[in-house]
């Protein structure tokens, strides 16, 4: 009799969880993007929102929460209920927020990885009238005129800010940082001649490079981009050992039920690897790349360690 009662008690306790799992999703989902609209992070969020809403049968809303180098949106997502109704679009800055800012958050502890979505390069670009045409000419000018060359970024702690700070450290140069709130305004100011140079995610600048409104100097990855095969890598341009690969991925708050994580992993991968979406990615310079939650989690952990060392060694501070 006691055994029977115990079994019934276990079934009663398990019932709400089973009902919850079967009922999900029963209300709208939101995807938190910790950047302003206009960049690839936002593009990824909107592609997933549009297609997941069809697959899951519930509205999926993109919630842009820029601020403090993506810290504001990241903390918001970390503190959200782990019920499968909040997703988060992460990029390289996700791995550095706890190294740059005062926060109790630990991204390897407070988030549940869902999937990697894609990888890309940063491109080093200049205003067409800026009087350098190569990385070596830039280094020479920067050493001759320390602090007089300015570079823009989409914000302190973003991949493009860290990319340039790593470049400065490895080349022994000093250039003045001008942080913006998002990619769109710094791109506009560079084309207007208010900013001399910058690294930016390839999807954000490739069309402007092709139109002649920006001058390309190098790409940050290990190989030349098929979208701009004439542009050398930074290593080819004479800075040995320099390599930065930008990545994008999807996560949820830690504690989100495992079955929901697995469902979102499968559905997100189907969307990203579909011919239509993969073509959109590739046209913007992003290689679609998905995998298991565990593989993405391992990438995040390795990136946290790598960039913490870069930030510490270079003495990078949030501005």
What is the mean predicted confidence (pLDDT) over 252-270? 98
pLDDT at 23 over 70: yes
CATH of the domain at 54: 3.40.190.150
Of 38, 62, 64, give the one whose Cα is nearest residue 49. 62
Q: What band does 317 get if pLDDT is binned at 50, 70 and 90?
A: confident
| Mean pLDDT confidence for 260-274 | 98
Supply the pLDDT for residue 44: 96
Does 136 share its domain with 212?
yes
User: So what's the pLDDT on residue 22?
Assistant: 58
- The residue behind tokens 């079955």 is 259
167 and 188 inside one domain: yes
Q: Give 85's pLDDT tier (boundaries 50, 70, 90).
A: very high
Final residue belonging to a domain, choices 167, 201, 219: 219
Q: In sequence order, what are the residues at sequence separation of 6 or more whose Cβ sits closer than 8 angstroms to the Cβ of residue 247?
A: 91, 92, 116, 118, 119, 120, 299, 303
The predicted model scores a pTM of 0.81
Lowest mean pLDDT among 55-64, 166-175, 308-317: 308-317
Q: Which domain holds residue 284?
A: 29-119+246-314
d(CA 173, CA 154): 21
């Amino acid at each position: 009799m006691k055994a029977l009662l115990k079994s019934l008690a276990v079934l009663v306790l398990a019932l709400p969880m089973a009902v919850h799992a079967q009922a999900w999703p029963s209300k709208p989902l939101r995807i938190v993007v910790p950047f302003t609209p206009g960049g690839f992070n936002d593009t990824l969020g909107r592609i997933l929102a549009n297609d997941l809403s069809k697959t899951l049968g519930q509205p999926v809303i993109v919630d842009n929460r820029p601020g403090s180098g993506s810290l504001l949106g990241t903390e918001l997502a970390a503190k959200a209920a782990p019920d499968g109704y909040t997703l988060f679009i992460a990029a390289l800055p996700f791995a550095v927020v706890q190294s740059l800012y005062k926060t109790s958050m630990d991204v390897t502890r407070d988030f549940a990885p869902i999937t990697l979505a894609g990888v890309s390069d940063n491109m080093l670009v200049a205003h067409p009238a800026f009087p350098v045409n190569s990385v070596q000419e830039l280094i020479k000018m920067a050493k001759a005129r320390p602090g007089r060359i300015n570079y823009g970024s989409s914000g302190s702690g973003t991949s493009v800010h860290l990319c340039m700070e790593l470049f400065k450290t490895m080349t022994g140069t000093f250039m003045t940082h001008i942080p913006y709130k998002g990619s769109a305004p710094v791109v506009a100011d560079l084309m207007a001649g208010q900013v001399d140079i910058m690294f930016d995610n390839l999807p954000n600048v490739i069309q402007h490079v092709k139109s002649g409104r920006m001058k390309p100097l190098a790409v940050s990855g290990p190989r030349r981009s098929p979208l701009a095969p004439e542009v050398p890598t930074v290593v080819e341009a004479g800075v040995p050992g320099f390599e930065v690969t930008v990545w994008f991925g999807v996560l949820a708050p830690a504690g989100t039920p495992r079955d929901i994580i697995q469902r979102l992993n499968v559905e997100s991968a189907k969307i990203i690897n579909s011919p239509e979406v993969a073509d959109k990615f590739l046209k913007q310079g992003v290689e679609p790349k998905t995998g298991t939650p565990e593989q993405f989690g391992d990438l995040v952990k390795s990136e946290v360690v790598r960039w913490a060392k870069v930030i510490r060694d270079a003495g990078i501070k949030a501005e």
